[in-house]
Amino acid sequence: MKRFSLEDWPQLASHLRQPYHGNYFALYSSLYGGVVTDPVLMTLPLDDHMVHRGDGVFEAFKAVGGKIYNLRGHLDRLVSSARGLSLKLPCSLVQMESIIVETVRAGGKPECMIRVFVSRGPGGFSVNPYECPSPQLYVMVTALGTPFMQLHPEGARIRTSAIEAKSAGMANIKNCNYAPNVLMKKEAVDAGVDFTVGFDENGFLTEGSTENVGIVTRDRRLLFPKLDRILAGTTMLRGMELAKELVGAGLLTAIGFADITHADILSAAELLVTGTTINFVSAVEMDDRQIGDGRPGPVVAALDELLRRDMRQNRALLTQVF
């Protein structure tokens, strides 16, 4: 077995380089006390309980045109997730916001994806959170994916997931234990569909692996599942606000939360999937059955357009970086 010491690091680091590192722009680590832009340095200690127990919370959001979209919405959810794990934030929200802006700036890309992690911190390898002296903050800036409908204008195909729905307590917080979400994504890839979506033990729709799901009924109501068994998606909630314009325009009659069954989905006029990375996506097929006329519908297209306009123009939700 080879043995290495600190002096061997430059040579070791050269073996660690990977082609996909080209998509990694910057990492802030509170353990470093600053930012690194060399992907080989973007590491966490194994004894951080976020690594070996999933004991941490996170957020994912994007910068478009040099401005971060809806940072406040994401930080509010981070605070609520941290509360769910009794996890102290490592700094104030004002400091966190400034660290995020500086890290995005260090990454040098006006279009990027940002992930913020608050971890229990290093402190040994047991499950005991009291073993960790201090929580840590990591901010990772990477390449931004292309919104789904740009890649697939024909719309998405969805399947019912076999993975058990999370309990209310776990579904409501964005914690770093995403094993059920990972398995849902794997299901979708293995089945050759775009997303799988869950149902709870009462047969009511929950959500996708990292997406919210809703329907437009034939009498033109935009409905999402009640918030108790899902993550309160920032895109879904913003979309529900923006959709009020569509009620005014006569495209919708109502907007709300409801218990949605599999049968409701099959009889819907439109089925939609939404989240930070994908924006609003029209789903045209559920479990091999066509939804509506089998083509992306007008409400989801209008919602996606409203969201994109909001990202460009709503100064109240934009944080200037570049």
Ligand X SMILES: Cc1ncc(COP(=O)(O)O)c(C=O)c1O
CB of 126 to ligand X, least distance (A): 28
Compare residues 81 and 136 and give the one whose CB is closer to ligand X: 81
Compare residues 275 and 292 and give the one whose CB is closer to ligand X: 275
Compare residues 40 and 72 and give the one whose CB is closer to ligand X: 72
CB of 174 to ligand X, least distance (A): 6
Report DSSP state, residue 39. Answer: G
Residue 300 to residue 306: CA distance in whole angstroms: 10
CB of 207 to ligand X, least distance (A): 5
- CA-based torsion, 170, 176, 179, 181: positive or negative: positive
Is 62 tagged catalytic? Answer: no
Residue 89 to residue 81: CA distance in whole angstroms: 11
Residue 55 to residue 57: CA distance in whole angstroms: 7
CB of 170 to ligand X, least distance (A): 10
Residues 6+ apart with CB under 8 A from 292: 268, 269, 270, 271, 284
Catalytic residue among 174, 186, 226, 244: 174
Residue 47 to residue 253: CA distance in whole angstroms: 53
Residues 6+ apart with CB under 8 A from 101: 68, 319, 321
Compare residues 132 and 165 and give the one whose CB is closer to ligand X: 165
Residues 99 and 91 sit within 8 Å (Cβ to Cβ): yes
Compare residues 123 and 178 and give the one whose CB is closer to ligand X: 178
Interface ranges with ligand X (CB under 6 A): 60, 181, 207, 210-212, 231, 233-236, 275-276
Helices and strands: H and E segment counts in the chain: 11, 16
Please report the DSSP string for 25-86 in residue order.
EEEEETTTTEEE-SGGG----TTBHHHHH--EEEEEEEEETTEEESHHHHHHHHHHHHHHTT
Compare residues 30 and 235 and give the one whose CB is closer to ligand X: 235
CB of 233 to ligand X, least distance (A): 3
CB of 177 to ligand X, least distance (A): 12
Residue 235 to residue 60: CA distance in whole angstroms: 11
**In terms of Cα–Cα distance, which of 285, 197, 300, 173 is closest to 246?**
300
What amino acid positions are annotated as catalytic residues? 174
